[in-house]
Amino acid sequence: MKVVSRRILKSFVWIIAVGMLVIIMVSLHELAMRQRVRIQILTPARGERESRIQHAYHENSTLNHQNKTTTGAMLESKSKPVTHIGFLKVHKAASTTTQAIFLRFGWRRNLTFVLSPEYNKFGYPNIISTNESITKYNTLSPPPGKTFDILCNHVVYGQKEWSSILPPDTVMIGTIREPFGHFKSVLNYFNPRAIAFVQSTIDPVDPVGTFLQNPTKYEAAKNVRHSFTNSRLAFEYGVNPEIIIKRDLIAFDEYLRDVLDKQFAVVLLAEKYDDSLVLMKRKLNWSFRDIMYAMKNVRSAAKADRYVLKDEHKALHRNYSIFDYMLFEFFEERLNKQIESEGVGFQEEVENFKEIRKYVENFCHVVPRHIMSVKIDRSKWTDSFEITRSDCNLMHLGEIQFIQMIRKNQYGSATWTGVQRVVKGPLKKS
């Protein structure tokens, strides 16, 4: 009797499992049809290259039509993907999410990254510097017989400094964020010492307002290199601290137009992130697979802000960090013009990218793990590509863990374990 009961129970469990799998497959089919993406789910049982389920969109003439007027998007292009990249990783401006794109791109191609000494004065192996540009002390030499391909760790931009270690054909990419939103993120993430001081000793009700009324009273102007509130975006783009201290608008405008505008091919806007990535894809001759991403270091909307920000704070903040606003508005206008110049079909490509990324995200998080990969078929915007479980893992890998994996691959050793061993003074290059 007990044996019969066990058999009935096993049969019941098996029926439920099969039913759930059928429901999942039907849901995937419906999702793919809604997103107009042609997809193949690949399983070990049928081999990596054999499809088990195929969703077709060939009937959709809009997606399959080759738009010959779209510039920079046609697969007929014979140009090779750009592999020499200088990425300015700007704090709190979608930079960790973007950095992960470059880390994966380089890792897949065994490219060589610019890295800091593993144990440095900042205490973290993924930071080159937060207060200066490249020096002979804060970076390692490339491995024997190699030259650097990609720079994407935190370090202040410097035209001469960066060009001293990167190839002449390096393409510069940056990120930017609306300054008041950036300020809010900085407050939540870093809790700047000056504002924390105001809150604890002077004004516990509106410490941000009190600070912005007279910021130099609480944060010395000479500390621009170490400040995360005083035109931090501009500083990380290499603006001379003296320009910020003296509030020299003319010198800043000259630097903006004569250096940054000419050096940076694309500056991605956090507020137009997918549009920016598609533009970057075109400029670098990359594929959709290359720019797939998972959001990194995103604060939960349910988490309360550290400080209350008011509408009147924005005008005060603009006055204090005027160079950040000038920088953002310049690159926002430039990005819009760059997108407009791409011609017909750009927004259609952006929407297609969003749909595919949503599907890939669903595959990584929802689809049962025994389904090992998903294939996106060729379209007029990109060659066909496959996303595997390994790709999912790389997309969600932590920054330090990824850097250490690259470090071990390049230099044969990575021993940092999370203990911040601060090193004082210059470090010899290894």
Decide if 293 contacts 395 (C-beta within 8 A). Answer: yes
**Residue 51 structure tokens:** 């499809």
What are the extents of the domains in the chain?
85-411
Beta-sheet strand order (sheet of 150-151): 150-151, 85-88, 171-176, 264-269
Strand partners, 85: 150, 171
pLDDT tens-place string over residues 317-328:
999 999 999 999
In a structure prediction context, what are the per-residue pLDDT tens digits for the chain, which is 430 residues long?
444 455 555 555 555 555 555 444 544 444 444 444 444 544 443 333 333 323 322 222 222 223 322 333 333 345 899 999 999 999 989 999 999 999 999 999 999 999 999 999 999 999 999 999 999 999 999 999 999 999 999 999 999 999 999 999 999 999 999 999 999 999 998 899 999 999 999 999 999 999 999 998 998 767 899 999 999 999 999 999 999 999 999 999 999 999 999 999 999 999 999 999 999 999 999 999 999 998 776 656 667 889 999 999 999 999 999 999 999 999 999 999 999 999 889 999 999 999 999 999 999 998 888 999 999 988 888 888 999 999 999 999 999 999 999 999 999 999 998 755 444 443 333 2
Torsion of CA 272, 277, 279, 281, to 10 degrees: -170
Q: Which two tokens stand for residue 218?
A: 């609480």
> Shortest CA distance to 73 belongs to which of 246, 272, 279, 225?
279
What's the CATH code, domain 85-411? 3.40.50
* Residue among 172, 212, 422 at smallest CA distance from 322: 212
CA distance 75 to 279: 15
Distances (CA, A) of 147 to 5, 116, 265, 402, 417: 68, 15, 22, 20, 28
